[in-house]
Each structure stands twice: as structure tokens, then as C-alpha cells.
Amino acid sequence: METLLEQIESGKLWQFPGGIHPPEQKTLSNQQPIARLPLPDKLILPLKQHIGANGSLLVQSGEHVLKGQALTAPGTNWSLPIHAPTSGIIEAIKPMPSAHPSALPELSIILRPDGEDRWTPLNPISDLNTLDNKQLIDIIHQAGIAGMGGAGFPTYVKADSPKPIEFLVVNGIECEPYITADDRLMREHAKEIVAGVEVLQGILKPQKVLFGIEDNKPEAIAAITAAAQHNQDILVRSVPTKYPSGGEKQLVKVLTSKEVPSTGIPADIGVLVQNVGTLFAIWQAIFEGKPLIERVVTVTGNTITQPSNVWALLGTEIKHLLDSQGFSPVEAQRVVMGGPMMGFTLPSVRIPVVKTTNCILAPDNQELAIPGDEKACIRCSACADACPQSLLPQQLQWFAKGKEYQKLEEYNLFDCIECGACSYVCPSEIPLVQYYRVAKADIREQKLEQVKAERAKERFEARKERLEREQEERQNKHKRRSAGAAPKAADKEKVQEALSRVKDKQSDKSAVQAAIARAKAKQGENGELEPDNSAIAEERAKRKAQARKYKEEKTDQSESTDKKDAVAAAIARAKAKKAAAQTAPESEPAAADDKKAAVAAAIARAKAKKEAAEDTPEPEVNAAPSDKKAAVAAAIARAKAKKAAKQAEEADESNQADASQSAQTDNTDEDPRKAAVAAAIARAKAKKAAKEAEEAGASVSEQAEAAPTESAEEDPRKAAVAAAIARAKAKKAAKEALEAGESMNEQDKEVNEPTAGSETDSSGTEQDAEGTSEQQRALSPEARKKAAVKAAIARAKAKKQAKEQEGNEPS
């Protein structure tokens, strides 16, 4: 059985699944040689034209640069420099639209050519044997070479592969319709491409170099075969035309039968793939010393008068390429960067050419029809049959629309090479590739956020550990200090005690010296030594000051007590007035009987005087009685108050009975004078009940006042509470007596009035009322006058008694 290498050497090829055969349209541009364009008015050079990070700027605005001069310095993380495509002046460094479907702005260098096209000094290498692999890789790196087949992967990273490479595969397929840049490059520069292959061959040391070219490019196959005939390790293979055989994984499958693992790269299986344009750039960097500043671009389409391939300086605007090839736009004109399968429509023709630009397609409306509206999937499985990666495009589209990112990864979304074969064959015109691109971007962004969150969590945990460690160190430090500070504190205390003793001795000495000095002074004045009485005088002065202070405090207390008593009396008077105002019923008319107002005023004044007398402080008694006596006095006061209230109720009931009896008596049998007499008797009884209630209240207050104030050693609260309860009950009895008197007055009024109180029972009510009124009118005028006079005399007597009671009340 033949080995894999023997099968490859024998020319055996393998097939990949899926694939389509779209119209090639390559004869439009591959018949003319690669043309040179005039210098554009300006060049726009984005700092990022590859997969990886930007380089750091080396120039400033207004600076003059030469052709091939480095404008940025490469950094880390797959960074590549960019170089000046021609000599000129740096006009500006600012964000400009990028070569992307969104045209998002990216930081770019705007170079204004000076027309001289002067080169910076170059350092070509004539003999490869003078340089080692590291130096060769560094030259490739500093030349800024990236994969020119469309991916833009840094070439120096591939050349410095840590894994052993068994096969070096050169991609000359160029399977997408319309594009012929690699075809013309292989035809015109086959020797240079083979020289670039030999540079990588010396670095990687592969067993064989497999050069794959589609069988629709016979001229290119012949040119490469002739250029590589001196190298037996380079095997040129003619691959059947089928899209997308130019895909990296598909080409490896066709030439080596090996399959690149999912989410893997060809280096994982010992294979390295390079594009013919990249190999030509390697030759220029090594043997001419030129960096990557230009590339071959196919300019084609039915709206182009002279479709062909041109050498385009990096940074040249697409408009300049179109105008140079005779662009005749049509209505709703589209310009596509790349081929019809994997390219994208440009939002503007002011977009610059970058390292990955291989084609500018300007079709008319019939050549590349505008896709129609998306329709529902009919589950025809045409997309699955055409997929070169053996994926399930329909399922991926459903998951992408539902943003089920986990399902997308489970169904190997990232194995999709975005070749567009599924969209090409879809009868429902579903833009499947667009769904996949958006989903990939979302997943990448989500993972990036997760990475950021994990890093933030790590930083937080590290900070937390650091703070805890520092806190623990501080606590240990304080413990050590406290342990060592104890003996020092004891020593300090001893020193302070010694100093205080010294100071005491010094003060004693100074006092003695002062006394001696005073004695000498007195002796000098009088001639005799007199006794020193200064200490006794100071003591006497202190006692006098204390006595004055005590007297002032006592005076202040007495003043404050007088003020408090006055305030309390004022409050009591205000409360009495308020109680008097509340005794008058709200529903009573303004023109009430004078009797009621007089009685209410008298009771109010009596209460006010009583409360003022209670609030007046009495002199302290040295021998205070016990709490039992105060309790007995309060109990007696409560009993008397209850008795007075009961008598008031009985008087009220008897008055009401007399009034109702007089009202119910037939008016035809009795004289109205009897009614007046009955009313007077009722008022007298009410006044008597009120008087008894007031006397009961007065006796209660006297007994409460008779209870002397307790000394400072006994609790005065019990006696005060008992006295307050007794006063409240006395007030209640007085109020009930007043209400009884008012009710008697109302009944008297009802008896005298002819229209009130004449009803006796429910039967014959109207007839009784009419009879009573007729009898009233039948009386003589003299009889009515006599009854009125007697009622007035009774009211006057009641007023007089009330005044006498007011005069007899203690003030």
C-alpha cells in the first residue's frame, strides 16, 4: 500500500464535500498584462490592514517622508508596520472610513504625494546563506507582509511556526468568479514567486511543496512549472475547477487528503498554506529590500471600459482605480470589494485599497442582480448539499435569528468559511452568510466581555487579598508595639510621680518662704513681730461668699415659685371661663333666659375662686400627718360628692314629675296660677340642689386643703391624687345640678306657653290641643296678668338667692 507521500508524488488528488460551479467571468480581465496607474492625488493609509494590533506612529502631520519609509513601528500581538507608498508630505492623521461593509472610521495617515516618487535607502539580500532563519523572519516582519489572499494573517507568524511542517501548500487556485490577479501574477512573475517559495522552504524545511492551480489557468500552470523545474521538491498540481476549492481547508483536503480539525488551523496537522501574492511580496522584501506598498488588483465588471489588473499603491482610493479604467456608472450602481461570492458592497468609492484588496467589481444591474426579499425556507436542503464544510446552514440560520449562541457553537458555526455557496443556491434568497457574520460578531463580543469580567474579578480578588494581608500586618504590628510599650508606660508613670513629688516640695518651700517674708515685712514696719491671721481671714471671706450665694439662690427660688403660682392661677381662671362657656348648650338661642346666664356665671366664678384658692401655696407645716389621714379625707369628700349628685338627680326627677303632671292636668279644671306656682317650686328645688352640690364641692376642697403638705421625707403624690379626684367629682355634681335647673326652666316655659305640652296620649291629640287653646283664650285678661306677675316674682327671688349664695361663697 502506498504511503501518503507516495500518493501525493504520484499526482493523486482528493475531493472535498459540497461546492458549486458559478459562471467564471475571468476572460474579461485576464487578457491584458498588469498595468501601472498614475500617482493619485492623495493616499489614505489605515494603521490596521491585517489581523492583529496596530503599530505605533513614527511620523507627525506636516512631515515629509520617502517611498518605502516606515510610518508605524510594529508592537506585540501580531502587529505589522505600514510604509509610505510614495514620497510626499503627511497631510493629516485622523479617523477615516475603513474598508469594511460598515465603513467605520479607523485612524489613518493621509499622505499627499510630491510627484518625485523618491525611495528610502534599500537593503536587498543577495545571498540567503548569509542570514539565519531569525533574520529572514525579521525582514519579513519589518516589511509588513500579510496574507494577501483575503485573510490578512501576518506572514512572519506563519513562518515562525513552532510545529514541524510536513507540507508547504501554495495557493494559486483563485476560484472566485471575476478575479484574475493571481493568474496574471503567476504568468508574469513565476520566477519571483518560486524564489519566495524557496525562502520559506529554507525556513520551514517541509518534505514537499505542493503548488495548486485550477485547471482553468493553463498559462499560469505552464509558467510555474517552468520556473520550478530545477527544484524537485516543488510539485505543481492542476486542480479541477470548483468553488470554493481555493479555501484553505478545502485545498489542504484536495492536495493532502488531510482534514483541518474544527476550530483548528492547518499547522495543527503539519501543513502551512501561503498565497502566491504573499510569496511575491516575500521575494521583494528579501531580494529587493522593498516593503509591501503595492499589490495587484483586478478592476472588472460590465461598467468598466477597460477591465484589467493593475498595480495599485496601498491607500489609493477606489474612485481612482475606477476612473483610470474607464468607469461608466449606471442607475443604482454598486461597487463591490472582492468577488461576487465573498465580497461586500462599498458604502463609498472613497474607501482606500488595503493589503487584502484583490478585486474591485463594478457590475451592471443585469450582471449581478440585486437580491429580492427574503422568503420562508422551503427545507429543500440545497444549502446543506452545497456547504464545503458539511454544516447545516438552515439550522445555523434559525439559531442565529433566535440568538441561541450556545447552539450555534455546538453546530460549529465558526467552521463556516463564509464562502457564500449556501446563499448562492438558496431558492428563497435568504442571506445566510449575513446571518452567520452577525452571529459570529455577537459571540466574539460576548466572549470578550466575559474575559473582561473574569479579569476584573481576578483584580478584585487580588486587591481584596492584598488589603486583608495589609490589615493583618498592621494588627500584628500594633500587637508588637503594645507588648513593648507596657514597660515604657510604667517607667513614664514612675517619672511623673517623681516629678510631682519634687513640685510639691518646691511649693511647700515657696509657701514657707512667703510666710517668712510677710513676717519680716510686718516686723520691719512695726518693729515687732505680729501674728499672721491671713488664713483665718480667707476662711471667713469664703463663708461670707457661700452665705451670699445661698441667699441669692433662695430669693430666685421664691421669685420663680411666685411666678409659677401666678401662672397656675391664670390657667385655672381660663379653664373656669372655658367650662362656663361649655355649660351653655350650643343649640340654645342667643336670647336665653337671664336666669340661666346668672346661675352659670355664678357657678363659674365660684369654681374660679375655688381653683385659685387651691393653687395658692400654703405655708409649710412642720408636723405633717400621715398618708392615712389624707386618704380618709379624700374618701369623705368622694362620699359627700356622690350624695350631692344623688340628691340633684332626685330633685331633677321630682321636678320633671311635677312638670309632666301639671302639663297633663286638664287646663279647664285648674287655674293658670297653679302652673306658675308649680314652676316656681321646681326652680327653687333646682337651685337648692345646685347649692348643695356646690357646698359638697366646697367641703371636698376644704378637706383636700386641710391635708397638709408632706415633708421632704414623705411622698405627696397620693394625697394630691385623692384631692384631684374629689374636686373632679364635686365639679361633676355641680354640673348635673345646673342641668337639672335648666330642665326645670324649660318645663316652666312649656306650662306657660299655650301651644306646648298639651298632648296627653296618642288618641284625640288634635282635639285636646284645640280645647286647651280655647280655655286659655276664655280666661279674663286680669287672670292672665296675675299669673305673669307671680312668675316674675318667683324668678326675681331665685336671682336674689343666687346672688346671696355668690356673696356667701369664700373668696
- How many angstroms separate the CA atoms of 555 and 565, rounded? 15
SS (H, E, C) 481-539: HHHHHHHHHHHHHHHHHHHHHHHHHHHHHHHHHHHHHHHHHHHHHHCCCCCCCHHHHHH
- How many angstroms separate the CA atoms of 750 and 679, rounded? 10
The candidate with the shortest Cα–Cα distance to 36, out of 352, 310, 353, 293, is 310
- How many angstroms separate the CA atoms of 441 and 102, rounded? 13
81 DSSP assignment: -
CB atoms within 10 A of CB 57: 14
Compute and round to an integer the Cα radius of gyration of the chain.
Answer: 62
Give the position of cell 321630682.
654
Residue 419 marked in a binding site: yes
The candidate with the shortest Cα–Cα distance to 212, out of 266, 273, 161, 269, is 273
CB atoms within 10 A of CB 68: 21
First to last CA, the chain: 144
The candidate with the shortest Cα–Cα distance to 150, out of 99, 112, 114, 81, is 99
Residue 359 marked in a binding site: no
Residue 426 marked in a binding site: yes
Residue 377 marked in a binding site: yes
- How many angstroms separate the CA atoms of 184 and 495, rounded? 103
Contact 580, 603 (CB under 8 A): yes
Cis peptide leading into residue 352 (ω within 30°)? no
Query: Treating both helix axes as pointing N-terminal to C-terminal, what angle do 717-752 and 594-615 enclose, rounded to 10 degrees?
Result: 170
Q: How many residues does the chain have?
A: 811
In this structure, what C-alpha cell is assigned to residue 589?
338661642
Residue 416 marked in a binding site: yes
In this structure, what C-alpha cell is assigned to residue 424?
448562492
- How many angstroms separate the CA atoms of 314 and 81, rounded? 13
CB atoms within 10 A of CB 650: 13
- How many angstroms separate the CA atoms of 296 and 283, rounded? 15
CB atoms within 10 A of CB 691: 18
Strand partners, 751: none
Query: Treating both helix axes as pointing N-terminal to C-terminal, what angle do 672-706 and 781-808 enclose, rounded to 10 degrees?
Result: 10
Query: Annotated binding site for [4Fe-4S] cluster: which residue ranges?
Result: 377, 380, 383, 387, 416, 419, 422, 426
Query: Annotated binding site: which residue ranges?
Result: 377, 380, 383, 387, 416, 419, 422, 426
